[in-house]
Amino acid sequence: METTFGAARGSKLINTVPLTLVMRAALSDAGLPAPQHQALEYATVVKAHCGPNVTTVGLLATMLWVLQLHCYGITVSLWQYLCLGLLVVPSMLLIGTLMIWVQT
């Protein structure tokens, strides 16, 4: 669980793709048993897709989505997105982590 939430926090500091590559390299050097290694790689993937979605500036795709909505006259404020992100993202990370734990 620490890997998922730690990587999710880290993905806010640097882009998700470089962080995922760094995490995979770190995991490959850790010398873990195969099931544990695979579970931690899955946790990194969960982070890459969910973690940065707390704010509108987390992912380029989110920023483009908000910009496209604005072109259609739909305004999503940073506050609205942040409130929803703080509600949904931790739940998604927890559920994803639990699903990985159950599968391994």
Structural domain containing residue 41: 2-103
Considering the chain, what is the average pLDDT of its residues? 79
Q: Is the pLDDT of residue 5 over 80?
A: no
The string of pLDDT tens digits covering residues 34-59 is 788 788 888 877 777 777 777 777 67
How many domains are contained in the chain?
1
DSSP string over 7-58: HHHHHHHS-HHHHHHHHHHHHHTTT--HHHHHHHHHHHHHHHHHGGGGSTTS
